[in-house]
Amino acid sequence: MMRIGFHLSISGGLPAAVDAAERLGCRAVQIFVRNPRQWKNRHLDDGEIQAFRRRRRQAALWPVVVHLSYLPNLAGHDERIREKSLRALKEEWRLARHIGADYLVVHCGHHHGLGLDKGHERVAEALAWVLTENEGNHGPTRILLENAAGQGTEVGSSLGELRRIRDLLGPLSVHVGYCVDTAHAAAAGYRFRTREELERFVAELDAILGLHRVALWHLNDSKVPVGKRVDRHWHVGCGAIGREAFRRFVHHPRLKSIPAIMETPKKGDQDDLENLARVLSL
């Protein structure tokens, strides 16, 4: 069985997120390091950071994942937004390294009419800039490109797109891996409900991305049918992907060593507890 965790809030402080992870029975955790819907940075003092590092070790959480906030758009052409996006990427990666996070998950964004090819180039240029700006100080935190559902002008909904963006980085690509979201993949048209479909999907993942470069799953069901290109997460096993598909997924010999984070709907702890119990019962 793969290591499982949730995206949790840090509204009560970083150490409180570890407390919540322990209370829920998580073995991994994902957080934001700032308000995901604001450009304003969140101040993290050294005492809070050191307490988080200590509590994380005590709880044996791995991996600790930081998700880039929602506002940055690395693929777009609006220069004002791009400048803010680059600053946010640089600052959130710095904070992720500072708290000892293992990964920073990044969405590619929307090209807003530039076209996919130009969107790929813009994302690669943004990543190259932040990697070069921090040359010699990359630390333990690897950047992971996440696949998209394919809504509107979203960049990165196909595995081939993610591969092309990484390839555009050249030698810097060693610092970049992948996070694959099951709900996004299904929305984009990838099928893995049956045993045969899953084997084809695994083969495609390996051939295009390289399974050794896939560092994280976002384990979410989809509220919308496969191929609808709409991003609507749902409770694992209760949506368009389904229980049997997830059972095969989490036990697949080539997939189960990769940790997973659930980003399922929640009103409180009970929703997370039910989702975790459902996955552990597969």
Q: Is 181 annotated for ligand binding?
A: yes
Q: Is 235 annotated for ligand binding?
A: no
pLDDT interval class at 137 (50, 70, 90): low
- pLDDT at 279 (0 to 100): 95
Q: Is 146 annotated for ligand binding?
A: yes
Q: Domains in the chain, start-ordered, CATH in brackets? A: 4-280 (3.20.20.150)
Q: Is 271 annotated for ligand binding?
A: no
Number of CB atoms found within 10 A of residue 189's CB: 14
pLDDT tens-place string over residues 174-192: 999 999 999 999 999 999 9
Q: Is 120 annotated for ligand binding?
A: no
pLDDT tens-place string over residues 144-170: 999 999 999 999 999 999 999 999 999
Q: Is 212 annotated for ligand binding?
A: no
134 neighbors 113 (Cβ within 8 angstroms):
no
Q: How far is CA 207 from CA 6, 156, 170, 195, 217, in A?
A: 29, 17, 19, 18, 17
220 neighbors 272 (Cβ within 8 angstroms):
no
The pLDDT > 90 percentage for the chain reads 93
Rounded to whole angstroms, the Cα distance separating 133 from 206 reads: 31
Instruction: For residues 230-246, give the mean pLDDT.
Output: 98
- pLDDT at 138 (0 to 100): 64
Q: Is 107 annotated for ligand binding?
A: yes
pLDDT interval class at 136 (50, 70, 90): low
The sign of the dihedral angle between the CA atoms of 79, 80, 83, 86 is negative
The b/e string for 45-54 (b: 16+ C-beta within 10 A; e otherwise) is eeebbebbbe
pLDDT tens-place string over residues 190-226: 999 999 999 999 999 999 999 999 999 999 999 999 9
Two structure tokens written together for 226 = 């496969």
**H and E: helices and strands count for the chain:** 9, 10
Q: Is 184 annotated for ligand binding?
A: yes
Query: For residue 44, is pLDDT > 70?
Result: yes
Q: Is the pTM of this model over 0.75?
A: yes
